[in-house]
Chains A and B, each alone.
Chain A
Amino acid sequence: MQRLTSPDALEKLRAELAGKRQAIKKTVFVCCGPGCLANGSRKIADAIGLQMEKQKVDASVGYRRCTTGCHGFCEQGPLVIVQPGDIFYCKVKPSDAATIVERTVKGDELVERLLYLDPGTKQRCKAFTEIPFYAKQTRVALARIGTLDPTDLGNAIASGGYASLAKALFTMKPDQVIDLVDRSGLRGKGGGGFLTGRKWRSCVKAPGDRRYVICNGDEGDPGAFMDRATMEGDPHCVIEGMIIGAYAVGSHEGYVYVREEYPLAVEYMQLGVDEARKAGLLGDNILGSDFSFDIKISRGGGAFVCGESSALMRSVEGKVGEPRAKYIHSVERGLWDQPTVLNNVETWATVPVIVQKGVDWFRSMGTKGSPGTKAFSLSGQVRNTGLIEVPMGVTLREVIFGIGGGLFKRRTFKAVQTGGPSGGCLPEDKLDLAVDFDELTRAGSMMGSGGMIVMDDRACMVDVARYFTAFLVDESCGKCVPCREGTKQLLALLTDITHGNATEDHLARIEALAATIMQASLCALGKSAPNPVLSTLKQFRQEYLSHIEKKRCPAGVCKPLTRFVIDEETCTGCGLCLKACPVDAIRGEKKKPHTIEPSKCITCAACREVCPVDAVEVAS
């Protein structure tokens, strides 16, 4: 790509690319997000490319195949979309390539069996816009993901990329950019929800020789993949956001901190930066202006704590990733002790859209305190796992049951875990809560980076708390005593409960220890480490008491406290459990109620999983 030396050159290129795109008759988009890739979407893309050549509908005659980032509906992957027409094929196999190309690309027919079947209406959906999972979303930061090839800068430019940068650089003063972001009310989407405009302004005001901007791509919460999808699906929107931010605060050097466990994100971000530099969008005199800025990719070793700003900065500096006390904020003294703006991937990705569409448009979405949208990764026991973006203020019910499609057959909702290991679990009576930064915090959980794990009636909340605490024990950096030693002891107390060794004062001891960990820990990881325990204790105290007093795990998860029995009246004698049992503990004749031999049972719950009528129960 030639070097762009003025905003006009950029627009000329965009017009040229758009013209080329106009000429394209049909495009086949193959989702190559992590979920689809794991299910073989690369092979599907290859097969489709091969078939297009074979059936003579390739690039030479105006057809195009495009591999994209995550389209979002991971549950139904691998996904293939044909445009125009928003034709959406799910659970595609490489062997379907020939049919898709022949009937939908070459011809104008639909492959009925590959269309999404709406479980509600029992109808096949022709276009993805008809699918509730998509219809109920509002995509801002994720808007372009799934519609372009992340490895091609031309794709991003044709889709409007870097137009906001040109607008900011040539029609706005740095202070006007800050003012715009400030008035938009954009809040940091990495978890804290701090006002982005205020952060930028503090950085400008802070004394220093140099200023830095950093993109935090160290997404580490279990069950969170929004940032990954953004970096892998549309690296240029992140880069563009960073350049605009750098211009606003007067920085000439930026870093993207990505965890090495996201190899594709590292690769695509690096590629994006290199391409942008070649095109004159990074480096000296961006787009011919007198503003210069460059980005380096810094790879993290995957420590959860390096998502914390001061630890992240130490890690970028090449030191051990440990946080420092932030009595002096990192925006004043951050990377190499210089004023530093650190924002999360999603926040940076939102900035260009705000510059383009303005404050009023942005504020028309979301709530008063939390305008705009938020991306969530929906996972756990919900039908439609995947990546979504919704306006702030929608209810949890809308997210889980509307977009998420609710729970699986015969299962009931028990809790949703938001905010990752630092967040909390919210029960059914909080389902009508409007999701925004303040409401979630008030309810005893937090927004976090946007992981949402749905749990059904077979999840034990004590075990959930124990799981997250164990995660934090491993991920504590170990610098301060309350976090390192405290979480370890918290885990020991929780393990006592799940093993049936707890005494009546265990809950009081947990609460006392949790209070000290929260008050005395050095960083936000430690200060929020007791959240999983405290929130489950607040919402599901009865379940804890059952473990302690009755030595019974009502959900049937904690093995030492669980005994399974088969309900005589419900059992149809189908024999599925008998076949599933790995230790031959189940006896029974066909069509007669079966029984479990307690001395042989290892409580693996295999019988419960396969029983079609839920006859396997936890003994009281």
Chain B
Amino acid sequence: MSTLVKIKIDEKEYEVPRGRYLLAICQENGIPIPTLCHHESVEPWGGCRLCVVEFRKKRWDSWWTELATACLYPAEDGLCVWTRSEKVMKARRTILDLLLARCPGSEVITKIAAEHGVYQTSFAKREGEDNCILCGLCTRVCDRVGARAIATALRGALKEVSTPFGEPPPDCLGCLSCAHVCPTHTIGHTEADGKRTVWGRTFELVRCSGCGAASVTREQVEYAVRTKNLSPEYFVKCDACKRRESAATFAGLLFDERKGGEGPVGPTGSGPSHE
């Protein structure tokens, strides 16, 4: 991986690690590439196809030029890439046109489409009110978290993101990672009176013993305790309160030192003191 190779992007030369994905290289070098299904916390996917670039390379005995998704294309020596060629822009426009037909109500899609000169769809609009573009980020992030509570169901035009059998998902932690990564903000969730609802299931939130704020669900706490080897005590107070206490502890220690006391006893372990 550490071997450097020379590649050309939009006629400009770059020296990059072999095997590094083109999208990452472009992002590092300030070359704008649109994408809707990519997120740094999960493996590249190649579903939305918006990040297509045109490339030319030698395979077997002849030169090829075709489109490839930047998110999945590894850099190799002598690779030549164009990120805004006519072919690329035409493909991106058609893809956005198709997405706009799927989600005519999505502000995000409407905005990106307009940036590419697509102001309304030329295709038949889908009936239905959700803005899901099936980018798969929610299900992949859910897998990454380890809950695996949601997945895609069916295929083709009927494909959808679903909980098992369409019922409130038994394995959901209510962590809202899915909602946070959703590029079209289409995963609905509510929070009120110490309760959070997502995917048709209501979760009880754990209140901080210090400030009373509610930020994590009981399922999240139990999951973290079970899988991350944390003490249940860890979740008694919220992060903000823990920080506040740590700060106070440090201030106290400094104060003690100046007074020349018995010497500081640093905080032990990862959990802050609850004294």
Contact = CB atoms under 8 A, between A and B. Distances in A.
Interface of A: 303, 305, 320, 324-325, 327-328, 473-482, 484-489, 492, 509, 512-513, 515-516, 519-522
Q: List the 8 closest pairs (A to B, CB-CB), nearest first.
A: A478-B159, A485-B98, A516-B94, A476-B156, A325-B72, A489-B123, A520-B91, A325-B46
Task: Give the interface centre of B46, B95, B123, B155 by most chain A CB atoms within 10 Å.
Answer: B155
Interface in B35-53: 45-50, 52
Interface string B212-241: 000000000000000000000000000000
Contacts of A475: 155-156
B185 interface: no
A327 B156 contact: no
A519 B101 CA distance: 20
B48 A519 contact: no
A481 B49 contact: yes
Contacts of A516: 90-91, 94-95
B46 A481 contact: no
B5 interface: no
Contacts of A488: 157
Nearest to B160: A478
Contact of B48 (A303, A480, A486, A513): A480
A481 B47 contact: yes
A512 B74 contact: no
Contacts of B67: 519-520
A484 B156 contact: yes
A485 B152 CA distance: 16
User: Which applies to chain A's interface (DSSP): helix, strand, loop or mixed?
Assistant: helix
Interface in B64-112: 66-69, 72-74, 87, 90-91, 94-95, 98-99, 101-102
A482 B158 CA distance: 15
A478 B98 CA distance: 13
A522 B46 contact: yes
Nearest to A328: B74
Contacts of B156: 473-478, 484, 487
B151 interface: yes
Given A305-B155, A488-B157, A480 B47 contact: yes
B133 interface: yes
Nearest to A321: B155
A327 B50 CA distance: 17
A522 B47 contact: yes
18 contacts: A320-B152, A324-B46, A473-B157, A474-B156, A474-B158, A479-B46, A479-B47, A480-B48, A481-B98, A482-B98, A484-B134, A485-B98, A486-B94, A492-B124, A516-B95, A519-B52, A519-B67, A519-B91
B174 interface: no
A517 to B, nearest CB: 8
B155 A522 contact: no
Contact of B49 (A324, A487, A509, A520): A520
Q: How large is the interface on B (under 10, 10 to 19, 20 to 34, 35 or more residues)?
A: 35 or more
User: Which applies to chain B's interface (DSSP): helix, strand, loop or mixed?
Assistant: mixed
B72 A327 contact: yes
B73 to A, nearest CB: 6
B120 interface: no
Contacts of B183: none
A521 B69 contact: no
Given A489-B123, A509-B122, A513-B94, A484 B159 contact: yes
Contacts of A484: 134, 156-157, 159
A478 B157 contact: yes
B151 to A, nearest CB: 7
Contact of A320 (B45, B48, B95, B151): B151
A481 B133 CA distance: 8
A481 B99 contact: yes
A492 B74 CA distance: 36
Nearest to B52: A520
B46 A480 contact: yes
Contact of A485 (B50, B87, B99): B99
A485 B101 contact: yes
Contacts of A477: 155-156, 159
A12 B133 CA distance: 64
B124 A325 contact: no
Contacts of A486: 94, 98
Task: Give the interface centre of A320, A479, A509, A513 by most chain B CB atoms within 10 Å.
Answer: A479
Contacts of B69: 325, 522
Given A325-B69, A327-B68, A519-B67, A489 B98 contact: yes
Given A478-B158, A513-B94, A519-B91, 6 more contacts: A327-B72, A481-B48, A486-B94, A492-B123, A516-B91, A522-B47
A478 B155 CA distance: 5
Contacts of B159: 477-478, 484
A486 B66 CA distance: 19
Nearest to B72: A325
Task: Give the interface centre of B52, B87, B123 by most chain A CB atoms within 10 Å.
Answer: B123
A485 B134 CA distance: 11
A522 B69 CA distance: 9
Task: Give the interface centre of B52, B102, B136, B156 by most chain A CB atoms within 10 Å.
Answer: B156
A520 B134 contact: no
Contacts of B134: 478-479, 484
B202 to A, nearest CB: 28
A207 to B, nearest CB: 14
Nearest to A324: B46
Contacts of A521: 49
A476 B157 contact: yes
A474 B158 CA distance: 8
A326 B154 CA distance: 23
Given A482-B98, A520-B95, A522-B47, A303 B155 contact: yes
Nearest to A492: B124
A179 to B, nearest CB: 20
Nearest to A519: B67
Contacts of A487: 156
Nearest to A509: B122
A395 to B, nearest CB: 29
B7 to A, nearest CB: 14
A471 B154 CA distance: 15
Nearest to B76: A327
Contacts of A473: 156-157
Nearest to A490: B123
Nearest to B99: A481
A482 B68 CA distance: 13
Nearest to A475: B156
Nearest to A516: B94
B73 A327 contact: yes
A356 to B, nearest CB: 31
B72 A478 contact: no
A546 B151 CA distance: 45
Nearest to A478: B159
Contacts of A519: 52, 66-67, 87, 91
Contacts of B124: 489, 492
A489 B66 CA distance: 23
A474 B50 CA distance: 23
Contact of A474 (B73, B74, B90, B157): B157
A477 B153 CA distance: 10
Contacts of A489: 98, 101, 123-124
A484 B99 CA distance: 10
A140 B219 CA distance: 61
A476 B68 contact: no
A60 B90 CA distance: 75
Contacts of B136: 479
Contacts of B90: 515-516
A505 B101 CA distance: 19
Contacts of B68: 325, 327
Contacts of A492: 123-124
Contacts of B66: 519
